[in-house]
Chains A and B, each alone.
Chain A
């Protein structure tokens, strides 16, 4: 095969979604195998390893994110139906949920306010620009909600999408250890905390621990999406008056 043929192939591949989709699945497959090899250590979170592999590969081949996303969007799209699918484990936990509705409501409200309030306040105290503070504020909500809020309060939606993923990874990696340290053992409390702080990535991790933790995490993620959308714009105004720039 000569260079011209190779170039032709490359031109074809980089213009088609096939490559982006395939490398996403291959990278995740490898990352997941590594994760199983390490006895499901949260440090080998498959999202971290596959994102690192893919960024490395794209940088090495000089491929832009937009070209990659031509294919990546097919995987990204499934976040929608997957969110709808959370209704199933939630329904299976319904009797438990009915018992716990009051603690769940209180924890959700506090969790959402703490997540947004602490990220704005910390970024402000550490000298982050207003744009960064507003991009960080909805970081604990699931990506589509967070991007909408970010836009509304003056952040950068696409940066928020990245911060949302990093937040989810942070929560998924640290979660189980943190719960051990503070001696929280109920799967319901762990699930609610995971879903409020680390949305879908935390929920994916929670399902690996137990289906009850996963269901409550999914519930917390869904309800905190509502709560974040309603509370964060109001909270931003409140912080403006308490902690002027």
Chain B
């Protein structure tokens, strides 16, 4: 029952998110807004209910599975990709590498510059 309550709650938040996004016409996906609202709820309550904890870890432990159907969608675009594979492949690969390296370095440097090492004694992560 716990798990069922948890999953129901996640769906309710998603539903509220979807409806709000549509009513307000904001360019954000419903589930993302639902996540923000659940986060705020947990923050106000000051703890995570067991049911939500269970449902969330069940879904997140196999997050990669959920991307498989979209990935198989590649077969519907074989022709398009074959026509322009060089710009697609190189741009995708290089841009992902550049983004990852730059973001990690910016985060590391700004953390060192802007976060006082004394603040709770864990401002520098796992170093």
Contact = CB atoms under 8 A, between A and B. Distances in A.
A118 B94 contact: yes
B87 interface: yes
B105 interface: yes
A103 B107 contact: yes
B106 A106 contact: yes
A92 B96 CA distance: 28
A188 B112 CA distance: 12
A229 B40 CA distance: 22
A99 B123 contact: yes
A122 B70 contact: no
Contacts of A45: 64
Contacts of B110: 102-103, 106-107
Contact of B27 (A136, A148, A178): A148
A87 to B, nearest CB: 4
B29 A100 contact: no
A83 interface: yes
A128 B84 CA distance: 7
B88 A115 contact: no
B76 A65 contact: yes
A243 interface: no
Contacts of B120: 95, 99
Contact of B28 (A86, A166, A225): A225
A197 B103 contact: yes
Contact of B105 (A85, A90, A166, A182): A182
Interface string A111-129: 1001100110011001111
A204 interface: yes
Classify the secondary structure of A's interface with B.
helix
A81 B11 contact: yes
Contacts of B90: 122, 126
A111 B99 contact: yes
Interface string A37-67: 0000000011100110011001100000100
A230 interface: yes
Contacts of B2: none
B100 A132 contact: no
A28 B67 CA distance: 11
Interface of A: 24-25, 27-28, 32, 45-47, 50-51, 54-55, 58-59, 65, 68-69, 72-73, 75-76, 78-92, 94-96, 99-100, 102-104, 106-107, 110-111, 114-115, 118-119, 122-123, 126-129, 132, 136, 139-140, 142-145, 148-149, 152, 156, 158-159, 161-172, 174-175, 178-179, 182, 184-190, 192-194, 196-198, 200-201, 203-205, 207, 212, 214, 222, 225-226, 229-230
10 contacts: A82-B63, A83-B32, A88-B52, A122-B94, A145-B29, A158-B73, A163-B88, A174-B97, A190-B104, A204-B60
